[in-house]
Amino acid sequence: MSPATKGQLSIEYFVAMIIFIFFVVYFLFEMSNLVPEFTGEMESQRIRSEAYQMSEILINSPGIPANWNALPYSQTVLFGLSNQTLNKTNLLSTSKITSMGSTCASLGQQAIRSKMYTDLEMSMLIVDRTDGSPRLDCNAPRNNTRGFSVTVRRIVAFDDGRFGDMTLQVWRP
């Protein structure tokens, strides 16, 4: 080092520092753009998963207790529509469908959601394929039209020998 350059920084150092700062700022900016997209996708996957699990429980579980449709609402732990006496996959009990429809009509959507242990809004429609009549129509008003929603459609059989379609729509309130 010569005495004339002592305590001075070179132009290369300033250029390198500016380039480094530019890349750090660029990296942070890109990360701030990716994080909301990533968290939004995580939330949508969680809603998809919960919607499918709810449809599985409704179709393949008789509920807790298995005869919840013959008991008062307060004694029901979990809704399930499967016919517990025949114990077949996707075979729904018409009496449980009727009971769930009555519960939805009298106590509202919140009563159904609380027994399904979900904080998500949901609408459920079960339609008879033979004549197109709804067997269960438990729709919640959709307040958030811009939010993400998931629709799960399943083919089901009723214990009276007919077939139907179950449509379960789930969204964040």
> What DSSP string runs through 37-96?
HHHHHHHHHHHHHHHHHHHHHHHH--EESTTGGGS-GGG--EE--B-TTT--TTEE-HHH
| Contact criterion met (CB below 8 Å) for 67 and 78 | no
As for how many domains the chain has, the answer is 1
CA atoms within 13 A on the CB side of 12: 0
User: Is 7 a domain residue?
Assistant: no
| pLDDT the model gives residue 108 | 87
Q: Is residue 4 part of a domain?
A: no
pTM equals: 0.75
In a domain, 19, yes or no: yes
Positive or negative, the CA dihedral 58, 125, 116, 151 is positive
In order along the chain (173 residues), what is the average pLDDT of each group of 10 residues? 62 88 91 79 90 94 92 93 83 93 90 90 92 89 69 93 94 83
Q: Which tokens is 91 given?
A: 């075979």
Is 5 a member of any domain? no
Inter-residue contact 65 to 71 (CB < 8 Å)? yes
- Inside any domain, residue 20: yes
Asked if residue 25 belongs to a domain, the reply is: yes
Residue 131 domain-assigned (yes or no): yes
The three-class DSSP label of residue 58 is: helix
Strand pairing category for 121-128 and 91-92? unpaired
Q: Residue 13 corresponds to which tokens in the numbers above?
A: 């150092």
User: What integer pLDDT is reported at residue 1 of this predicted model?
Assistant: 47
Full domain range(s) for residue 18: 12-171
Closest alpha carbon to 57 in 170, 162, 142: 170
